[in-house]
Amino acid sequence: MDSPETPILIFGARSFAEEIADLASEVPGLRVAGFVENFDRDRPRILHGLPVHWIDDVAPLAASHKAVCGLGTTLRAPLITQARAMGFEFLSVIHPSARVSSRAVIGAGSIISAGSIIAAHTVIGEHVVINRGALIGHHIQIAEYTNIGPGANIGGGCRIGEGVYVGIGATVIDHLQIGPVTVIGGGAVVTRDLPARVLAVGVPAKIVKENIEGK
């Protein structure tokens, strides 16, 4: 007899939430049961044939559903905190085509997308997004709420702070430290440590803005 599927709600109802729903639909044992909207109560209540619940109405579902955050921004902590206060438990979602070392640790609520690779002895914090085709080397630590963009390459031994955004196709060479809430532009090549709350772009990456609020 097949094991029952776990129903999940995607917190968010925009395009990135649709992407996460598609990803989760291909993970054995999960069933996407709907979306949760927290911005516009007048949005359509059906999305791809699934219900879109208003945030204030979903607390009764916490006993029977698990949660995944479908916000593309690194500033997703308030929504996650609100969902937790309602009693929702967050699951990590790992696509079957991803390669995750048995010696890696994936935090609750994190999303490991199609074709990505997580090498040995790496620790991924809670609510991290590793997007499609990203390469995460060995002995890396990635703090919570970070986004690693499609095709990005993070070298071994790096330390990535909370709420960092690494753009599509960016490279961070081995053994660097990236401060919290820093944004690395698409295609950038980071060759030295970066402090907190800066925007770095180019090859090699240079700081072009300071005191940013994330992405």
Residues classed as catalytic: 138
Q: What is the dihedral of CA 106, 168, 75, 117, to 10 degrees?
A: 0
Spatial distance between the Cα atoms of 76 and 81, rounded to a whole number of angstroms: 9
Tokens matching residue 166 = 């690494």
Q: Which of 174, 176, 171 is nearest to 188 (CA)?
A: 171
What Å distances lie between residue 10 and 19, 24, 159, 190, CA to CA? 10, 9, 29, 33
SS3 of 19, please? helix
> In sequence order, what are the residues at sequence separation of 6 or more whose Cβ sits closer than 8 angstroms to the Cβ of residue 97?
114, 115
In angstroms, the Cα distances linking 76 to 13, 37, 63, 194 are 13, 13, 22, 22
